[in-house]
Structure 1
């Protein structure tokens, strides 16, 4: 099978199929019989007389020396060790189902070559009786042998999407997210770069498990040296004996042009296949979110004043955050009571919405439907709707509603839908601030069902996935939402790094990024407005500070950057983020390249004092070597007093070939820390 620039080739020797090739696209006339023969291993001392195959679901019943892809039992707990036989293949132009059976079990592996250039793979297990499932891996792929390290992700609240570079070694690298979300801690992504791979060159493989409810990843080097990677739902997530189980989709891709090939494919797939846009042609609107301006202190007069100022700065969508419902004066009460607080809003939300609309902005609203406070009318009426044990510890003063119960989903659908139907709202910020007290896949399936019902009932409403910031970011949730809140930290220095690393997986158009206050509410750090604004303008742009408290000079800078974002967002949001290999570790740099290659913008963020006197050249990427490009430094006025030499970009545009820009690179002016250089490029 071919998907974009990659090929997947499989064979079967009468049992479960196995991958014999995954990599760069093969010629159409490749001899597959010879390819299969070339994949046969030798044997040596200390081994059994036949090498157990590394199949799409390695079997415990075939003396396989590594982790099996299926662990199941009879309903009474008796372990099952099926040895599957290949039955048949069902295929269409772009999909393949490989079906095997044993002991009354049917195992199907479904592989689809998506038009976006990725493979999606899924495993389905069916039985002729109720059985218990402990572990089911999505179709298992071999990991590259020509690799020293793997890259997985780690994070925490206000510091998401940190890349871990982990050496390969005999044995297992196992990561399991058991918090009921894809998680800050280790979201379900893995990159497998071959030795020597950089952002702009070399070979790499990548996997993403499109599931929001917690996952398990096993990257294993077997005793014989072969390597496998398994992804599936958290072990024990299926709590009931059933006759049918399925994994989420595993997204798989290969790049021959470094990590940027991985990034480009993930970005394209998310934007063009996964997200279902209400209006794909609509430019991504500039947000204003009032959370860090007022927190729970709501009043019509204050919010109307803030809306006036936000609109004057260029905002196009006003989002009212937490605190509008129940008796919600802090985070200890009222979750679940989705009725308007008439103490704060005696005439309801309509006066604020009408004022916002009169300013030319649309209106968005915060919800956290999956949670409940013990101090709420809902919990007092339905304590049995809580998920988990009665004596559990609360999280952020919250408990979790059991979304496996149809009556809970019905209540939430009716409550949220009533607010949407009764008001002119085009956007929901959907939060999820509590870790789950138990592991249960039914909770995520219930959440998906609730999202799907609300989307069907209100197809024009966009939804943002927020989970204490970046705690639930994956293709499973993005199939039901349109934006992710990458982090509750909008300190631009932290965001510069987070956004840069998250670009390996997420496109600009779904990655919310806001301009924060002068003194960050999560780090206390003070940063200049130009830096804060340009970092936010790299992604889906907005602002969140109190506009009543910014200076005239800062307001002018913010207005200028907002206008720049509006002028460039259409091509930027449809383009590709390409990370650059910087010779200076204090510079974080990327390009955003238009889909037709005709223009780009280079962002180079100076995030610390550099060790050398003068900036090192910065090589560009993704350009046509033979074409000429005019490059212009957009913000030469941000040069510090110490920048006193004849750097050409400070004085006007340069015209250089793509080969020169990618080979020698460009020299930027000297910069203070917390400076973002913005270079615009146009193909002539």
Structure 2
């Protein structure tokens, strides 16, 4: 787990297949001398000693040829002879900004402590933690680097604690959660990017000298870029190559950097975005960063995904639903939008029940005077007139059809036309003297304010205590503008973005603890806040507002790089699709939606008898395979560069059953389909595919026959079962 070498100057952090090695120099600087495939060694200090020195700022610390700028540091600070991007920038009461950290002490212990007020990855399995304490003696500031090794999960987490031991305030201008320097630059950078409706597309590009930067300044982790960054070998693919990755357990503004210096070294770091951020650290106070997850794979992206998926299911998601199969649901949004009444909802629910669907979700429009986007956010009282009576009565009637009931909410927002806003106009994020900007006819509530937090806890607790609700879809459809808080002091205004997230986490902590039986799904205009921080509280996320099956292929493939399939909400919707107008077969829409948690988002009452039978068959088929899909191991079978074909496989926990899916986007004239080679099977075992029996070696080396597409957007699915012969 944590082995001490070189007279307790080297910390060898070990998990099952990975080593992370830190070393304290005689100067007191802490260096990262290795991260990668697990090592067996008793001395590693020579790695630093062997680094050759190039020219420029050298002979510092009174040591000949000492050049901090060429050393792989764990916590580089502003104001010293390392002129690369710092991991820590502090401003002191005298206006100075130099921080000179040197090693002071360490502590190794079993287990892992909870980060105050933030999601923290924990596990009942074997975990060991090392804390490395650094100190700036002059300024009386300490920085603690906390690494936890989850041995069986092949995962390491890191967080940082900055403590002010002086008698004056200290301002944190920047502090990252992880900084790792590599003595090489021959990497590709891999990340997930996109926009609303096309989130988490996997991107791979070569690194070059200079800084590659990912970030969000939107108040949420964002549709544009996910808090994930990886460095990969140039030849890395789904099944081979080394990949070094960071994923941040945080739901707000973040920044990730891969910086190549003039000596072909790479600095990789991730943390809270320093943009519009500062934190006043009063005497004797500590600041805790969110934690990052450090995952290394030496067998390509599929192994990377397998590590993340298991780790997040078993150690991150605290919900009791984390390892429970999820219900097939119907959401009324694209079926009705705001135009519904009790009769229409019950008609939709009856059709859903007839198809074997298990959960009915009532989306936007059920509360206050809400019949469009202009009113009532914040007033979480049911509209009895629109619902044709009480919400309890509607839930009871839907329950009599054999369906559980779910509800949409958007608690972080408020409409100017609402009782809440009229009572508390000071509760929104705004700058005094300026007219706050409306976006989607709504403002953002100031969750840095404890009164706002308590209001949301009270309103939602009352709703969940009164009504028989099995599922909550928690939406956030607006990013933060007009950054200012009536609650915070003048000197704290740059703390708003982080305090907002801490306030959100507090609300979620209370509600999810109070109502553990409720399945919470997060949503931020789709995948605009699909991050480990939200998964800690809400084990399911609405992957994208784009429900088109073909658009969902790269979205769900990219999401699956990090996040487990059981966390992905995936729905079959109507054609022509409401976002892009594409017409896709019901069969292909079902195949794609079965890549995660299956749901339907269309008006079942308008389907033909034949289409309803197809839906019914899909639901039956999915229930047969959903444990494999939701709790098994995902293996992607095609490379991400092949944008015209997508194939993936799920392997059951006991490796006896496999679900294989394939979709071709566009048909091509005069072509002969190639075979689809599988992975993850026992080469010597026998498997049944339809009427045919094959060995694992056949299926992995020869593969399955693909049908010749006679139309665009064609899909196929197979169930492969291990048999005795």
Q: TM-score, normalised by structure 2?
A: 0.88
Post-superposition CA distance 1:450-505 (Å, at most 9, x none): 11111122121111110000000111111111200010011011112211121101
Aligned match of 2:99:
82
The answer to whether 1:386 aligns with 2:445 is no
Aligned match of 2:455:
411
Aligned match of 1:474:
531
Q: Distance in 2 between matches of 1:95 and 1:452?
A: 24
Whether the 8 Å CA contact 1:20–1:36 is kept in 2: the answer is no
Aligned match of 2:289:
247
Counterpart pick for 2:149 among 113, 118, 123: 113
The answer to whether 1:123 aligns with 2:160 is yes
Task: Please report how far the alpha carbon of residue 683 of structure 1 lies from its aligned counterpart in structure 2 after TM superposition.
Answer: 2.3
Q: Secondary structure at the match of 1:123?
A: strand
Q: TM-score, normalised by structure 1?
A: 0.93
The answer to whether 1:55 aligns with 2:89 is no
Q: Secondary structure at the match of 1:139?
A: strand
Aligned match of 1:669:
707
* Structure 1 pair 240–259 and aligned structure 2 pair: CA distance change class (3 A): closer
Whether the 8 Å CA contact 1:116–1:273 is kept in 2: the answer is no
Task: Please report how far the alpha carbon of residue 591 of structure 1 lies from its aligned counterpart in structure 2 after TM superposition.
Answer: 0.8
Task: Please report how far the alpha carbon of residue 239 of structure 1 lies from its aligned counterpart in structure 2 after TM superposition.
Answer: 4.2
Q: Secondary structure at the match of 1:119?
A: strand
Counterpart pick for 2:661 among 600, 603, 619: 603
Whether the 8 Å CA contact 1:238–1:442 is kept in 2: the answer is no
Task: Please report how far the alpha carbon of residue 39 of structure 1 lies from its aligned counterpart in structure 2 after TM superposition.
Answer: 6.5
Task: Please report how far the alpha carbon of residue 238 of structure 1 lies from its aligned counterpart in structure 2 after TM superposition.
Answer: 4.2
Q: Distance in 1 between matches of 2:321 and 2:677?
A: 37
Counterpart pick for 2:211 among 167, 172, 185: 172
Q: Distance in 1 between matches of 2:693 and 2:365?
A: 52
Aligned match of 1:205:
244
Q: Secondary structure at the match of 2:678?
A: coil
Task: Please report how far the alpha carbon of residue 240 of structure 1 lies from its aligned counterpart in structure 2 after TM superposition.
Answer: 4.2
Aligned match of 1:645:
none
The answer to whether 1:501 aligns with 2:501 is no
Whether the 8 Å CA contact 1:133–1:241 is kept in 2: the answer is yes
Q: Distance in 2 between matches of 1:533 and 1:568?
A: 13
Post-superposition CA distance 1:555-592 (Å, at most 9, x none): 11111111111111123211111111359642111111
Q: Secondary structure at the match of 1:388?
A: coil
Q: Distance in 2 between matches of 1:16 and 1:610?
A: 60
Q: Distance in 2 between matches of 1:474 and 1:280?
A: 15
The answer to whether 1:233 aligns with 2:269 is no
Post-superposition CA distance 1:70-128 (Å, at most 9, x none): 0110257x132121121111112411110111121010010011242211100111112
Task: Please report how far the alpha carbon of residue 143 of structure 1 lies from its aligned counterpart in structure 2 after TM superposition.
Answer: 4.5
Aligned match of 1:630:
688
Task: Please report how far the alpha carbon of residue 262 of structure 1 lies from its aligned counterpart in structure 2 after TM superposition.
Answer: 0.9
Post-superposition CA distance 1:636-667 (Å, at most 9, x none): xxxxxxxxxxxxxxxx32413x2332233333
Aligned match of 1:40:
50
Matches within 5 A, 1:345-360: 345=387, 347-360=389-402
* Structure 1 pair 297–126 and aligned structure 2 pair: CA distance change class (3 A): same
Whether the 8 Å CA contact 1:463–1:481 is kept in 2: the answer is yes
Whether the 8 Å CA contact 2:74–2:181 is kept in 1: the answer is no
Q: Secondary structure at the match of 1:160?
A: coil
Whether the 8 Å CA contact 1:11–1:36 is kept in 2: the answer is no
Point out where structure 1 has 5 or more consecutive residues left out of the alignment.
Answer: 633-651
Whether the 8 Å CA contact 1:191–1:205 is kept in 2: the answer is yes
The answer to whether 1:191 aligns with 2:230 is yes
Whether the 8 Å CA contact 1:473–1:484 is kept in 2: the answer is yes
Task: Please report how far the alpha carbon of residue 165 of structure 1 lies from its aligned counterpart in structure 2 after TM superposition.
Answer: 1.8
Matches within 5 A, 1:142-153: 142-143=181-182, 145=184, 147-153=186-192
Q: Distance in 1 between matches of 2:216 and 2:670?
A: 42
Counterpart pick for 1:486 among 525, 537, 543: 543
Q: Secondary structure at the match of 1:293?
A: helix
Aligned residues between the structures: 660
Q: Distance in 1 between matches of 2:84 and 2:256?
A: 14
Whether the 8 Å CA contact 1:84–1:100 is kept in 2: the answer is yes
Whether the 8 Å CA contact 2:185–2:207 is kept in 1: the answer is no
Aligned match of 1:510:
567
Whether the 8 Å CA contact 1:140–1:230 is kept in 2: the answer is yes
Q: Distance in 2 between matches of 1:585 and 1:67?
A: 36
Point out where structure 2 has 5 or more consecutive residues left out of the alignment.
Answer: 1-12, 59-64, 111-127, 484-495
Aligned match of 1:456:
513
Whether the 8 Å CA contact 1:143–1:192 is kept in 2: the answer is no
Q: Distance in 1 between matches of 2:442 and 2:610?
A: 42
Matches within 5 A, 1:178-327: 178-236=217-275, 238-242=277-281, 243-279=285-321, 282-327=324-369
Q: Distance in 1 between matches of 2:661 and 2:361?
A: 28
* Structure 1 pair 627–38 and aligned structure 2 pair: CA distance change class (3 A): farther
* Structure 1 pair 547–75 and aligned structure 2 pair: CA distance change class (3 A): farther
Q: Distance in 2 between matches of 1:510 and 1:357?
A: 25
Q: Distance in 2 between matches of 1:248 and 1:610?
A: 49
Task: Please report how far the alpha carbon of residue 356 of structure 1 lies from its aligned counterpart in structure 2 after TM superposition.
Answer: 1.5
Whether the 8 Å CA contact 1:483–1:509 is kept in 2: the answer is yes
Task: Please report how far the alpha carbon of residue 283 of structure 1 lies from its aligned counterpart in structure 2 after TM superposition.
Answer: 2.3
Task: Please report how far the alpha carbon of residue 603 of structure 1 lies from its aligned counterpart in structure 2 after TM superposition.
Answer: 0.7
After TM superposition, which residue ranges in structure 1, 4 or more long, deviate above 6 angstroms?
A: none
Task: Please report how far the alpha carbon of residue 425 of structure 1 lies from its aligned counterpart in structure 2 after TM superposition.
Answer: 0.5
Q: Distance in 1 between matches of 2:705 and 2:35?
A: 40
Task: Please report how far the alpha carbon of residue 362 of structure 1 lies from its aligned counterpart in structure 2 after TM superposition.
Answer: 1.0
Matches within 5 A, 1:632-671: 632=690, 652-656=691-695, 658-671=696-709
The answer to whether 1:96 aligns with 2:135 is no
* Structure 1 pair 425–144 and aligned structure 2 pair: CA distance change class (3 A): farther
* Structure 1 pair 450–586 and aligned structure 2 pair: CA distance change class (3 A): same
Q: Distance in 2 between matches of 1:497 and 1:612?
A: 26
Aligned match of 2:504:
447
Post-superposition CA distance 1:241-271 (Å, at most 9, x none): 1232221111111111111011111111111
Q: Distance in 1 between matches of 2:96 and 2:682?
A: 59
* Structure 1 pair 2–505 and aligned structure 2 pair: CA distance change class (3 A): same
Counterpart pick for 1:139 among 172, 178, 189: 178
Task: Please report how far the alpha carbon of residue 5 of structure 1 lies from its aligned counterpart in structure 2 after TM superposition.
Answer: 1.6
- The answer to which of 621-630 and 432-441 deviates more is 621-630
RMSD: 1.8
Post-superposition CA distance 1:582-637 (Å, at most 9, x none): 596421111111122222111111111247601123222222233232223xxxxx
Q: Distance in 2 between matches of 1:429 and 1:43?
A: 56
